[in-house]
A = this chain, B = another copy of it.
Amino acid sequence: MPLEGKQLIGQQAVLSDGKAIHAVDPATGETLSPGYPAGGQAEVEQACALARAAFDAYRETGLEARAAFLETVAEEIEAIGDELIVRAMAESGLPRARLEGERGRTCGQLRLFASVVRAGEWLDVRLDPALPERQPMPRVDLRQRHIALGPVAVFGASNFPLAFSVAGGDTASALAAGCPVVVKAHAAHPGTSELVGRAVQRAVAKCALPEGVFSLLYGSGRELGQALVRDPRIKAVGFTGSRSGGTALMQAAQSRPEPIPVYAEMSSINPVFLLPEALNNRGRDLGEAFIGSLTMGAGQFCTNPGLVIAVKGEALDAFVASAAEAVKASAAQTMLTPGIHDAYVQGVDGLVASSKAREVARGNAGEGPNACQTGLFVAAAEDFMGDEALQAEVFGATSLVVECADLDEVKRVAESLEGQLTATLQMDDADLDAARALLPTLERRAGRVMANGWPTGVEVCHAMVHGGPYPATSDSRTTSVGSAAIHRFLRPVCYQNLPQGLLPEALRDGNPAGVSRLVDGQREA
């Protein structure tokens, strides 16, 4: 079935009449067919009405039925076959191997959430049985579980056309929690979105779920996106993108008559701290590995290492020299969109023009229209701390090395940073005390602290935190990657003295759902 360019509203496919959105192949500049006529208020209205109508039934699907649905979505995505990879390559400029891997991650995280749904830990069941004889007052029977918040608006991200788009992490975790999802497709990859959206539609039908569990809309952020966030039936928002885009959604959500949570993953420069012994012992190797992480995917990962901090001296010079060699040898890779490429060039030009940053090396310029030329710059710690422009994220394969006078200044730089997704320590055994002194700062500043690795490469698992203090995200209390992401879309409800016939299964006597429960504060065996 060829791509149709239609809104997917419940089980329908509807042609809108707005201005058409076209994907552009960033490697060639070619405009891709079909056009996707933009929807607006009317499409939002229809999708949200269906989502609301589906909500009470969908949130009470049994654990097994909901898990099977998530697995069916994964199967339907795999069943699309190579057409999905070919279209995603054309719409993103990303290479085949990366997109095949991303498809694996996308389906893997749907299946991870299926296992999480089945295990039932997310229900956070708590029972405080009645104590009729307690003095001076008896205690009533109290039982708690978590239920879904309501329909969720998900905004597809440009940099993960599969894993953080239509059926990506936000959608998977919201569906796992029991929330219907209305996705706004990212304008950069509408065809990829349509293919995945139809796969989800098929899974909804196969599992005989109410059609409003999923809709996929195309339109402008200012019109369709804002209308979606303002719709009273939407109860939470998932977003991955720019700081300006995320804060606009936060404001829209807060100015509703009923404010709702926004989970926006926005900007991070992911500082890497090179501690003295590690730098002495393996500075040249670190320099090379650093550029490997920096240039991965043309530097378009949220966890790209955009900042390196160390004490200045010969060891740091050797690191920089080694990194510079790797930069010069680095190939130019196609960036995701002309807009992202323009912003990257502007950011790098700002560093070039800055009197406080020194250019160390540039990579190959490339020949395509949207090629990312790697960049490496150096600045003094004092200059860095005094200049907000140097602290801003340059989305792409450019990084800044900050030279400090000593470890105290390293710590001051760490304290001066905004909230981050990650903070990395390169450390050897003899660096343990220095690492220990930095750790409290890094915990306060970042969602993930790592040693002797590189921040790119985010494992989808139970312990992952892809989050962090503002402006890394809008809500540091959560993660957008990994199984704990399900908690973003849940709220607790307490049931007092309800008859067994009225209680949800997970709360009934005898634990018929077989879930982990806290009884009087103790975990039930």
Chain A contact residues, CB within 8 Å of chain B: 56, 60, 101, 115-116, 119, 121, 124, 126-128, 136-137, 139-140, 142-144, 147, 149-150, 250-251, 254, 258-259, 261, 419, 427, 429, 432, 435-436, 439-440, 443-444, 446-453, 457, 459, 461-465, 467, 469-471, 474-479, 483-484, 490-499, 501-502, 516, 518, 520-523
Q: What CA separation (Å) do A413 and B436 show in the bound complex? A: 58
Q: Which residues of B contact A435 (CB under 8 A)?
A: 502
Could you say which of B115, B128, B149, B440 contacts A461, with CB atoms under 8 Å apart?
B128
* CB pair A497 B453 closer than 8 Å: yes
* CB pair B477 A261 closer than 8 Å: yes
Q: Which residues of B contact A523 (CB under 8 A)?
A: 121, 516, 523
* CB pair A484 B492 closer than 8 Å: yes
Number of copies: 2
The distance from the CB of A98 to the nearest CB of chain B, in whole angstroms, is 13
* CB pair B126 A462 closer than 8 Å: yes
Q: Which residues of B contact A493 (CB under 8 A)?
A: 443, 446-449, 465
With contacts A259-B470, A497-B450 taken as known, whether A444 is within 8 angstroms of B150 at the C-beta atoms is yes
Could you say which of B126, B259, B461 contacts A142, with CB atoms under 8 Å apart?
B461
* CB pair A115 B521 closer than 8 Å: yes
Q: What CA separation (Å) do A136 and B140 show in the bound complex? A: 54
Q: What CA separation (Å) do A494 and B143 show in the bound complex? A: 31
* CB pair B250 A470 closer than 8 Å: no
Q: What CA separation (Å) do A521 and B495 show in the bound complex? A: 27
- Give 20 CB contacts A-B under 8 Å: A101-B136, A119-B521, A126-B463, A126-B484, A128-B459, A128-B463, A137-B457, A140-B450, A142-B464, A143-B463, A250-B254, A258-B469, A261-B477, A439-B502, A443-B493, A448-B496, A449-B495, A450-B496, A476-B491, A477-B491
Q: Which of A116, A137, A461 has the most CB of B within 10 A?
A: A461
Could you say which of B142, B440, B451 contacts A496, with CB atoms under 8 Å apart?
B451
* CB pair A149 B476 closer than 8 Å: yes
* CB pair B453 A140 closer than 8 Å: yes
* CB pair A142 B491 closer than 8 Å: no
* CB pair B451 A498 closer than 8 Å: yes
Q: Which residues of B contact A475 (CB under 8 A)?
A: 261
Q: What CA separation (Å) do A357 and B478 show in the bound complex? A: 46
* CB pair A470 B258 closer than 8 Å: yes
Closest 9 CB pairs of A and B: A450-B496, A465-B494, A144-B463, A142-B463, A126-B463, A448-B494, A56-B440, A128-B461, A128-B463
Q: Which residues of B contact A419 (CB under 8 A)?
A: 258
Chain B: CB-nearest residue to A490: B477
Q: Which residues of B contact A254 (CB under 8 A)?
A: 250-251, 254
Q: Which of A140, A149, A471, A496 has the most CB of B within 10 A?
A: A496
Q: Which residues of B contact A60 (CB under 8 A)?
A: 440
* CB pair A451 B499 closer than 8 Å: yes
* CB pair A432 B142 closer than 8 Å: no
Chain B: CB-nearest residue to A144: B463
Q: What CA separation (Å) do A493 and B423 show in the bound complex? A: 11
Q: Which residues of B contact A457 (CB under 8 A)?
A: 137
* CB pair A451 B518 closer than 8 Å: no
Q: What CA separation (Å) do A107 and B469 show in the bound complex? A: 33
Q: Which residues of B contact A483 (CB under 8 A)?
A: 521
The distance from the CB of A48 to the nearest CB of chain B, in whole angstroms, is 15
Q: What CA separation (Å) do A139 and B462 show in the bound complex? A: 12
* CB pair A502 B250 closer than 8 Å: no
Could you say which of B259, B490, B498, B522 contacts A450, with CB atoms under 8 Å apart?
B498
With contacts A254-B254, A450-B498, A493-B448 taken as known, whether A459 is within 8 angstroms of B521 at the C-beta atoms is no
Q: What CA separation (Å) do A254 and B256 show in the bound complex? A: 13
Q: What CA separation (Å) do A452 and B141 show in the bound complex? A: 12
Could you say which of B478, B492, B518 contacts A447, with CB atoms under 8 Å apart?
B492
Chain B: CB-nearest residue to A247: B259
* CB pair A521 B259 closer than 8 Å: no
* CB pair B494 A463 closer than 8 Å: yes
Q: Could you list 17 further interchain pairs (A-B, Cβ under 8 angstroms) beyond the known A56-B444, A250-B254, A449-B494?
A: A121-B518, A128-B459, A140-B453, A140-B459, A142-B461, A144-B462, A149-B477, A254-B254, A261-B477, A432-B499, A436-B501, A443-B493, A451-B497, A462-B521, A476-B491, A479-B494, A516-B523
